[in-house]
Amino acid sequence: MPDFFVDPNIAKAKTLHTSFYTSAEVFEQCREKIFAPSWQFIGHEGLVKENGDVYPFTLLPGYLDEPLLVTKNNAGQINLLSNVCTHRGNLVADKPCHLNSLKCRYHGRKFDLDGHFLSMPEFKEVADFPAKNDDLHQLDLFKWGQFLFTSLDPKYSSELFFRDMMQRVSWLPLDDFKFAPELSREFNVKANWALYCENYLEGFHIPFVHAGLNAVIDFGEYATELFFPYSSLQLGLAKSDEDCFDLPKDSPDYGKNVAAYYFWVFPNMMFNFYPWGLSVNVVEPVTVGECTVKFYAYLWDESKLNRGAGSGLDKVEMEDEEIVENVQRGVRSRFYKHGRYSVTREQGTYHFHRILAEFMNNTP
């Protein structure tokens, strides 16, 4: 299997070898090399509104497939815990509920809402019990406003992933954004997760694929900013000042007709800010040639829905899916192994490939 290398000079570089998108072995390696140490989106604080609320979920179902729990204790503190009982591995909670403590239904082991062991029937004779590892494992939890993230193996600080995005839109009242399940979506895409991400990371295809979006966005002024080490921004500027952000004077973008901020955070998260609110897109690997894309919508100003760059998102998604599914078929060709990058239009995809190569070449 070839090493994954991307030349540090974009003008000389070739894209990743196609085995990244077609090899089942590489797909399995990505689980521990890329997804376990990176940060993943959980949801918003509203998952546990009241003290005593418990919310079980699976992080990247079928891939990382890690059973976890979000809890809010009696002091109002949010905790992120393993949902696996430390006795025999049963799931502690199987549905959202309201509790004073956690109790495993298998043999009655109890934990408080911080995950600390409380009691266990028929264990008086057990030596050196309880020990620290009888508590539920507590995971790192990163909060940005109301949004929650975690890493299963946090080798990298959350700051390296989120700092630049947080600074750029620090003026937005994120706590006022309301989750809108009626606007949220889930799509199954017959393409490798990375192909979906790299399509997102360049606006090069907009005039060719997205006629509706191209009518709104000023493609000549479309700009990509690389945030190092693990994020980037595509700044969507409009052809007029209609349906744009009303930016404060302390924004670095003040005076521009910003129709959309398209932030990407490695490896699989997109944060699309529009005047109406936010769409958080999470790309979840399923198989080497398939992924699930989940759109979580958070509404800020309903009066601006279905206007400007933030309108017609379902149509844009269908157009993107058709392209990346064709690419997935194409990269299996015996006649294609690498491509080249547009120096002016594909900096985001190049940046992504450089990070992928870095993570893949690191020893776990």
Cis bond before residue 130 (omega within 30° of 0):
yes
Task: Give the tokens for residue 69.
Answer: 């729990």
Per-residue confidence (pLDDT) for residue 215, from 0 to 100: 65
Looking at the structure of the chain, the number of domains it has is 2
Per-residue confidence (pLDDT) for residue 223, from 0 to 100: 83
Domain boundary among 104, 129, 150: 150
**Any idea which of 96-100, 271-275, 317-321, 332-336 has the lowest mean pLDDT?**
317-321
Residues 127 and 171 in one domain: no
Residues 317 and 347 in one domain: yes
Chain position carrying tokens 């600390």: 116
Per-residue confidence (pLDDT) for residue 131, from 0 to 100: 97
Per-residue confidence (pLDDT) for residue 195, from 0 to 100: 97
Domain boundary among 150, 178, 206: 150
Whether the Cβ atoms of residue 81 and residue 63 lie closer than 8 Å to each other: no
Cis bond before residue 96 (omega within 30° of 0):
no
Q: Give the mean pLDDT of 146-163.
A: 97
> pTM value?
0.94
Q: Amino acid letter at 269?
A: M
User: Does any domain span residue 282?
Assistant: yes
Residues 105 and 172 in one domain: no
Summarised one tens digit per residue, pLDDT across range 195-254 is 999 999 987 777 776 677 766 666 677 789 999 999 999 998 887 888 899 999 999 999
Q: Can you say how many angstroms the Cα of residue 42 is from the centroid of all Cα atoms in its chain? A: 9
Per-residue confidence (pLDDT) for residue 364, from 0 to 100: 54
Per-residue confidence (pLDDT) for residue 219, from 0 to 100: 64
Cα–Cα distances (Å) from 339 to 7, 74, 307, 332, 335, in that order, read: 13, 56, 36, 13, 11
Q: Give the mean pLDDT of 130-138.
A: 98
User: Does any domain span residue 14?
Assistant: no
Expressed as residue numbers, the domain containing 72 is: 40-150
Distance CA 231, CA 264 (A): 5
Summarised one tens digit per residue, pLDDT across range 17-35 is 999 999 999 999 999 999 9
147 φ/ψ sector (left φ>0, alpha ψ -120 to 50, else beta): beta
Domain boundary among 117, 150, 183: 150
DSSP notation for 201-265: T--TTHHHH-HHHHHHB-GGG-EEEEETTTEEEEEEEBSSSTT-----TTSTTTTS-EEEEEEEE
User: Does any domain span residue 9?
Assistant: no
Task: Give the tokens for residue 71.
Answer: 């809890």
Residues 166 and 314 in one domain: yes
Percentage of the chain lying above the pLDDT 90 cut: 85
Chain position carrying tokens 């009655």: 108
Q: Give the mean pLDDT of 158-165.
A: 98
Whether the Cβ atoms of residue 180 and residue 316 lie closer than 8 Å to each other: no
Q: What is the CATH number of the domain that holds 74?
A: 2.102.10.10
Per-residue confidence (pLDDT) for residue 306, from 0 to 100: 85
Q: Give the mean pLDDT of 72-99.
A: 97
Cα–Cα distances (Å) from 289 to 21, 188, 205, 237, 338, in that order, read: 7, 11, 22, 33, 18
Task: Give the tokens for residue 11.
Answer: 């003008």
For residue 32, which of 139, 193, 133, 151 has the smallest C-alpha distance? 151
For residue 179, which of 200, 150, 152, 148 has the smallest C-alpha distance? 148
User: Does any domain span residue 243?
Assistant: yes
CA atoms lying within 13 Å on the CB side of residue 241: 5
Residues 103 and 199 in one domain: no
Per-residue confidence (pLDDT) for residue 235, from 0 to 100: 93
Q: Give the mean pLDDT of 299-311.
A: 85
Chain position carrying tokens 């990244």: 20
Residues 73 and 187 in one domain: no
Q: Give the mean pLDDT of 114-120.
A: 98
DSSP 46: G
User: What mean pLDDT value characterizes the chain?
Assistant: 93
Q: Give the mean pLDDT of 265-287.
A: 97
Beta bridge partners of 282: 269, 294
Percentage of the chain lying above the pLDDT 70 cut: 95
Residues 208 and 237 in one domain: yes
Residues 277 and 356 in one domain: yes
Per-residue confidence (pLDDT) for residue 214, from 0 to 100: 62
Q: Give the mean pLDDT of 95-104.
A: 97
Per-residue confidence (pLDDT) for residue 217, from 0 to 100: 63
Distance CA 24, CA 28 (A): 6
